[in-house]
């Protein structure tokens, strides 16, 4: 169980793998007291004869098998989101095919639930001229997803951030979108650390001003909003917004730095949904067994066990999501590879190249410390293969 790993200072240091974690995930259909979506990654088809920077090829069997794994632990799937490289290699036609396949697969798993990303990414930036263009783009994807029977996550729109001139433009777009939704949707606020093109979303660079606009939209259409996912990596802002949400509207944390304490909650607020956050997290893809076990402990009233399981995963998550945060998907796929959930470390768009070897080596150490190495012998073998490809051999 020994390996030599590179460090950030350029040195090579011996490391001994601790081995597999001791926690037991929940099973499919387990009743939890938090709604927990894992934003799931896609598995690229590494053998497809394509131009990886220009074309997208998916290994559908491995991709859907990964979703079955998440459902099998009692987690939901947030489909075709940024974790799946939406708008970063995964185009709209492939996203819709992914949504269709996931919805069909969910029908075969008792208790499985999912929601799917609805955006405007099929609209070329040069063709986004007006707010009406954005509305039509949202309507196109809404109709396609709802035709498949899917629940909507209304994703933040790069095109809207580019075209909008004031908060009123956001109000107009969301009024049209929400008024047409068949069932309550999850709204989506992704900070510019995740996607620089979303800077100034809701019509302001000031977070408090932007939050007021978002809250106003939610309050005006509360019957059409299940919740809002925010990914600002600022727990205080999330808590402040959570306490101002209408009583039935959920806060879905997207804070991959502070998720444990946000999910546990603080007991402050007039309704349960104001007292804690539910979850829609990319990190739940990488730490699914721990997330599932921790949520089961919380549902059983054992908050100490919840924190004991999740606390060691926080350093791992902060490392995976370190700046430039938009490259976090590489760490998520690396985790799936070393744990045997896909047979290669290749990503859509060649995104496996966005993190350095020392970064991945530290991720390996942190995953081990969190008890998230599922097959130690396999993980060791695959890490040594990666090291050899980078010229590091024992």
Q: What is the pLDDT of residue 357?
A: 97
Domains of the chain from N-terminus onward: 23-348 (3.20.20.70)
pLDDT in tens, 105-155: 999 999 999 999 999 999 987 899 999 999 999 999 999 999 999 999 999
3 state SS of 281: strand
Residue reference for tokens 């997803």: 145
Q: What angle separates helix 313-320 from helix 328-338, to the nearest 10 degrees? A: 130
3 state SS of 242: helix
Token pair listed for 384: 């040594």
Q: How far apart are CA 151 and CA 157, in angstroms?
A: 18
Instruction: Assess contact for 58 and 98: CB atoms under 8 A.
Output: yes
List Cβ neighbours of 281 (8 Å cut-off, separation of 6 or more). Answer: 36, 37, 38, 39, 253, 254, 256, 259, 291
Q: What is the pLDDT of residue 28?
A: 83
Q: How far apart are CA 157 and CA 166, in angstroms?
A: 15
Give the Cβ contact number of residue 388 at 10 Å.
11
Instruction: Assess contact for 318 and 257: CB atoms under 8 A.
Output: yes
- Average pLDDT for 341-356: 97
Instruction: Assess contact for 364 and 4: CB atoms under 8 A.
Output: no
Q: What is the pLDDT of residue 175?
A: 98
Give the Cβ contact number of residue 394 at 10 Å.
10
Q: How far apart are CA 391 and CA 389, in angstroms?
A: 6
pLDDT in tens, 20-58: 877 899 988 888 999 999 999 999 999 999 999 999 999
Q: How far apart are CA 225 and CA 178, in angstroms?
A: 8
3 state SS of 329: helix
- Average pLDDT for 219-230: 97
pLDDT in tens, 298-327: 999 999 999 999 999 999 999 999 999 999
pLDDT in tens, 151-201: 999 999 999 999 999 999 999 999 999 999 999 999 999 999 999 999 999
Give first-to-last CA distance, the chain, whole Å: 13
């Amino acid at each position: 169980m020994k390996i030599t790993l590179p460090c950030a200072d350029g040195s090579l240091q011996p490391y001994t793998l601790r081995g597999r974690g001791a926690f037991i995930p929940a099973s499919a259909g387990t009743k939890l007291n938090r709604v927990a979506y894992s934003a799931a990654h896609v598995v690229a088809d590494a053998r497809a004869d394509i131009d990886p920077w220009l074309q997208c090829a998916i290994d559908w069997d491995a991709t859907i098998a990964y979703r079955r794994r998440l459902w099998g632990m009692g987690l939901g799937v947030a489909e075709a989101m940024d974790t799946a490289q939406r708008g970063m290699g995964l185009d709209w036609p492939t996203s819709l095919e992914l949504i269709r396949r996931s919805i069909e697969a969910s029908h075969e798993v008792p208790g499985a639930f999912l929601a799917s990303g609805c955006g405007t990414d099929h609209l070329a930036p040069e063709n986004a001229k007006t707010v009406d263009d954005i509305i039509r783009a949202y309507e196109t994807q809404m109709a396609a997803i709802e035709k498949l029977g899917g629940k909507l996550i209304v994703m933040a729109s790069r095109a809207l951030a580019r075209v909008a001139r004031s908060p009123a433009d956001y109000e107009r777009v969301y009024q049209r979108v929400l008024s047409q939704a068949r069932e309550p949707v999850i709204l989506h606020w992704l900070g510019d650390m995740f996607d620089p093109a979303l800077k100034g979303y809701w019509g302001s660079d000031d977070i408090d001003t932007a939050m007021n606009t978002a809250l106003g939209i939610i309050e005006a259409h509360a019957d059409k909003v299940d919740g809002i996912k925010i990914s600002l990596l600022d727990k205080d802002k999330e808590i402040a917004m959570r306490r101002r949400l209408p009583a039935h509207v959920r806060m879905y944390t997207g804070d991959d730095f502070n998720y444990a304490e946000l999910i546990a909650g603080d007991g402050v607020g007039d309704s349960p949904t104001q007292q804690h956050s539910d979850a829609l997290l990319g990190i739940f893809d990488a730490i699914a067994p721990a997330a599932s076990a921790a949520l089961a402990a919380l549902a059983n009233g054992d908050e100490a066990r919840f924190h004991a399981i999740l606390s060691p995963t926080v350093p791992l998550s902060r490392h995976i999501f370190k700046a430039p945060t938009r490259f976090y998907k590489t760490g998520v796929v690396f985790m799936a590879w070393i744990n045997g959930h896909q047979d290669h470390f290749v990503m859509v768009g060649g995104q496996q190249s966005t993190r350095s070897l020392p970064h991945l080596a530290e991720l390996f150490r942190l995953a081990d410390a969190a008890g998230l190495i599922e097959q130690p012998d396999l993980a060791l073998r695959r890490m040594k293969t990666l090291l050899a490809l980078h010229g590091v051999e024992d």
